Structure 1
Amino acid sequence: MIVKPSQIGVSSDELSVRSLIFFIIELENLLSYIGKRMLQCKETIAVAESVTSGFLQFSFSQMRDASTFFMGGITAYSLQEKVEILKVDLEEAIKTNCVSSNIAETMALNVAKMYRTNWSIAVTGYATPVEESGKKLFAYFSISHRGKIILSERLDLHSRTKAVNAQLYYSEFILGCFKLELDKQIDTGIDNDKAS
């Protein structure tokens, strides 16, 4: 049996608000953990985002002592900003509407250079189905560490996902992936220290 929001007295707008609240509550533990690990490894991070429109930067700003490791970020929504500020290739940007794995990787590497950080995260994609996306919702994200891309993936969502929910999902998923990559790097460093 499928229950529609209207059958339980909740509008889709209320569900979006509830999704945002749930996202923030669930995110608190993840953000606390990432913040502690960033302080532990004494490294820094910057963010370049498009489709998430600042959610990742907001998330990092909520971490305790964020100013010691979160150096800043940029929300580059237009092709022009991605080309001029983040140095993505103009031809590829035009050809892909700025949404490709290579664009996300370039954004990640260049935001790390801009802010002189050890880590960076970049994301570009679609929060609403449009002609350029083939009426699909997807995003590419990349994580870099010390000038190398260590993770680059595509996320696909159902085309009827509301824009704010898509942005929240992308953000939470990317932060979860960052947590795993951060753990790998720290644990590898600890193992290397023990071996020395």
Structure 2
Amino acid sequence: MFTGIIEDLGIVTKLDRDQGNLHLTIKSAITQELKIDQSVAHNGICLTVVSINNDTYTVTAIKETIDKTNIGDLMVGDIVNLERAMKLGDRLDGHIVQGHVDQIGFCQSVKEENGSWSYTFDYDDTFGNVTIEKGSITVNGVSLTVVNSEKNKFSVAIIPYTYEHTNFKSLQKGSKINLEFDVLGKYIQKLYQNRL
């Protein structure tokens, strides 16, 4: 379980493909605090630490994860948003995030708005996922509030701190992003569909 509050930006230092798996080696300031078997969210994708070497650690993504997220598009030198799993008893500063990406989306536009930024994203709505205004959404692992919600797109507003401390500053029109929709909304949607 995660909160969507990014702890660090990691740098991809190595990518190894092994049959259907992708092994990613990440350099991060939090590496020394990690343990093997620990869960860490990478752009919102929960992955298990399998090895640690000095200031880098390695995680493995299986085919299912590669097929449903943007992790297969990463290249050496790319920056990823990192968050360790929340501790029981800690404050929930973002919202409940599972680290299970529902689907990918694409950045439609980025607009600077006098000290903040507005991002609009679209997604395939045939999966049944929805957003609501003032509801929660996770974009590349970042917990955000939906500003504008439409049938298959939504907008979020980014403050300077989030812009500087996440990989949002590298997003541009056409960028592929990981989306995790609000877990409570998903349950309500499922209950509603089952009643019909």
Q: Is the shorter-chain TM-score for this pair beyond 0.5, marking a shared fold?
A: no
Greater relative contact order (CA < 8 Å, ≥ 6 in sequence):
2
Higher-helix-fraction structure? 1
Q: TM-score, normalised by structure 2?
A: 0.29
Higher-strand-fraction structure? 2
Q: TM-score, normalised by structure 1?
A: 0.29
Instruction: Select the structure of larger CA radius of gyration.
Output: 1
